[in-house]
Amino acid sequence: MTVRILRRRVPDNWRALFPELHPVLARVYASRRVASGRELENSLENLPPPSRMKGMERAVEVLASAVDGGRRILVVGDFDADGATSTAVALRALRLLGAADVHFLVPNRFEYGYGLTPEIVAVAADKQPDVIVTVDNGIASLEWVRAARARGMQVVVTDHHLPGKELPEAEAIVNPNQPGCGFPGKALAGVGVIFYVMMALRAALRDSGWFERRSLPVPNLARLLDIVALGTVADVVPLDHINRILVAQGLARIRGGCCCPGIDALLEIAGRRRENIVAADMGFAVGPRLNAAGRLQDMSIGIQCLLTDDPQRARELAKELDALNRERRSIEEEMRDQALDHLQALQLEDSAALPAGLCLFHEAWHQGVIGILAARIKERFHRPVIAFAAADDGHIKGSARSVPGFHIRDGLDAVATRFPGLVQKFGGHAMAAGLTLKRGNFEDFVCAFDEEVRRHLGEDELRGRLWSDGALPASDLNLALAESLRRAGPWGQGFPEPVFDGEFSLVNRRIVGERHLKLTLRADGSDVPLDAIAFNTVDDDWPAGTAAVKMAYKLDVNHYRDSRNLQLMVEHIEPLEPASGRKG
């Protein structure tokens, strides 16, 4: 599919905004609507207080009473990386705060599907909790909360997903996206929400004299920020100022060697050096290994990895997670090939007949991997994608991924409203969602979803777009700027890592690892060779005699043994015809 490189708009006063910074970095910040240096300060003092979150006071009352009374607390999480990290933060914090009887439950997606169902109440009841705390879920679990309370359990819902028209009848709901909540950070992940709840609980226990009465030290909950950073990045929530603070603080702790053994072990098995990590390492190295447990088996493995304080046990669990991730990749590759073969058979690929909203279903697809498949197909065809897998009782389950301009959760809501009974249940965010259909409704849903997407996205929005921060002169293609940009993050969703574009003379190219393109380039006005790599890219269709390329790329630092070198990470590359190539 065609990709257009568009350059970000930079305000006219960008130099005046950050006069002390390197011009490239000043331009990058200004184009991301950073209005002042204060928005770049990542100290914890810049976080808004927990008291601004609706429902916090009541949630803390319930939890403080439970801790003080030695009552049994059950944390009920979700089976993705945000759910796992949220569960780990809740368990670690409650234990640090002196709670004597704390347990967790994560429903197995293959037994119970997505979300909390009334059947899971029976599973929770086996643990005989007095208080249930949901993390990263619960806002849509009306029947589940009702059933839990009918059994005499108090329920505190902590979540960040968008609520429906009706809220659960819980003792307390803490969710920055619930109606009437004045908390400014609407982009918090589930792990960020529960971290805020635990901070508020610590303050309440301290003020009540709890720690003095029990001769307990007042714990520093900042020690949990490594896990908060992992969950925030892995859930791909927008990195607004609040989330950047949480991630920056967590990364700083990891680099300084103050992280839990589980994260340390996952970094080690992923081949990442702890002292050099950035947010992308959480998203592309640690997060997928943690997620693999929930996708293929049981997320309890990942949670135990984050909870253990035994380095040897952490390494054992990290190896298990790594093996699951390798299996997940193999399944994903097979599913991706099947999806592309299906599109080719329909003669839709690279044609105007491709639906605006793309729905794919295969009997053999794995429920735990369809979300990744949807993301991969979305990246290839630049449109909202829903991948479905077979479920029990004549149903299919879908995982959806969207593109800018189409709010996927609201889109599903619109389809469900216009066609009552077509969608059994759904939930999610602007860019990702999950849903369940009756198998016989699939074809009708395909048409309804495509129609809904076309209401919001035109042909121009369905073409691939890659946003660039402009061209760099040869003098800025250096290691010092690359290292400065790495330190300038954390970069991520909604605050993207800088990408630049330009044309380069091609000195050499070769395929490495069967599917990656290794390049040696030269920029205009320079004789210095530049190393570059384009992952999952080959040059089979390049014209003979190609001497120059057009690229979008990131400046990266390649660490090899004890040396550091500049490397261009290619985001998009296309050959320039020999006749129109630049002078080498």
- Is the pLDDT score of 62 beyond 70? yes
- The per-residue pLDDT for range 415-465, each reduced to its tens digit, is 999 999 999 988 887 888 899 999 999 999 999 999 999 999 988 888 888
Q: Is the pLDDT of residue 2 over 80?
A: no
Is 59 within 8 Å of 154 (Cβ atoms)?
no
Given pLDDT bands bounded at 50, 70 and 90, which one contains residue 561?
confident
Assign domain 346-462 to a CATH class. alpha beta
Instruction: Express each pLDDT in 364-412 by its tens digit.
Output: 898 888 988 998 899 888 899 999 999 888 999 999 999 988 999 999 9
Which of 221-230, 507-516, 519-528, 571-580 has the least mean pLDDT?
Answer: 571-580
pLDDT-based confidence at 514, cuts 50/70/90? confident
Q: What is the pLDDT of residue 580?
A: 47
Is 44-323's fold the same as 466-576's? no
The whole-number pLDDT of residue 344 equals 74
pLDDT at 582 over 60: no
State the Cα–Cα distance between residues 307 and 88, nearest whole angstrom. Answer: 6
**Residue 477 confidence (pLDDT):** 97
- Say which range, 363-372, 500-509, 563-572, has the weakest mean pLDDT: 363-372
Residue 352: what pLDDT? 58
Q: Which two tokens stand for residue 8?
A: 């970000």
Q: What is the mean pLDDT of residues 230-234?
A: 96
**The total number of residues written for the chain in this structure:** 584
Q: Are 450 and 536 in contact (CB under 8 A)?
A: no
Query: Could you give the count of Cα atoms lying within 13 Å of 334 in the half-sphere of its Cβ?
Result: 10
pLDDT at 583: 46
Closest CA to 91 of 221, 189, 206: 221
- Cα 111 to Cα 96, 119, 485, distances in angstroms: 32, 10, 45
Residue ranges covered by each domain of the chain: 44-323, 346-462, 466-576
Picking from 360, 362, 355, 353, the residue whose alpha carbon sits closest to that of residue 382 is 355
Exposure string (b/e) for 351-362, b if CB count within 10 Å is 16 or more?
A: eeebbbbbbbbb
Model pLDDT for residues 477-499, shown as the tens digit of each residue? 999 999 999 989 899 999 999 99
Q: Read off the pLDDT band of 581 (50, 70, 90).
A: very low
Mean pLDDT of all residues in the chain?
91
Q: Residue with structure tokens 């395929």?
A: 511
Q: Which has the closest alpha carbon to 74: 154, 140, 139?
A: 154
Q: Does the pLDDT at position 348 exceed 60?
A: no
Mind listing the pLDDT tens digit for each residue in 129-181?
999 999 999 998 999 999 999 999 999 999 999 898 899 999 999 999 999 99
Q: CATH classification of 466-576, choosing from 2.40.50.460, 2.70.70.10, 2.60.40.350, 3.40.1160.10?
A: 2.40.50.460
Tell how strand 131-135 and strand 154-158 pair up: parallel
Q: CA-CA distance, 297 to 276, in Å (whole number)?
A: 31
Residues near 231 by Cβ (< 8 Å), separated by ≥ 6? 81, 82, 84, 85, 86, 89, 189, 190, 191, 192
Residue 270 to residues 265, 281, 293: CA-CA distances in angstroms?
9, 9, 16
What's residue 584's pLDDT? 42
Q: Please write the tens of the pLDDT for every residue from 262-300.
A: 999 999 999 998 998 999 999 999 999 999 888 888 889
Between residues 57 and 109, which one has the greater pLDDT? 57
What is the token pair recorded at 38? 């204060």
Which residues lie across from 426 on neighbouring strands?
435
Name the burial class of residue 118, with classes exposed (0-12), middle (13-18) and buried (19+) by CB atoms within 10 angstroms of its CB: middle
Check: CATH 3.90.1640.30 for 44-323?
yes
At residue 297, the pLDDT reads 80
pLDDT higher than 70, residue 224: yes
**pLDDT tens sequence across 93-121:** 999 999 999 999 988 766 665 567 777 88
Return the DSSP state at 283: I
pTM: 0.88
> Which residue in 429, 426, 437 sits closest to 115, CA to CA?
426
Strand 425-428 versus strand 432-438 pairing type: antiparallel
Amino acid 398: pLDDT: 94
Instruction: Please state which of the ranges 14-18, 122-126, 280-284, 349-353 shows the lowest mean pLDDT.
Output: 349-353
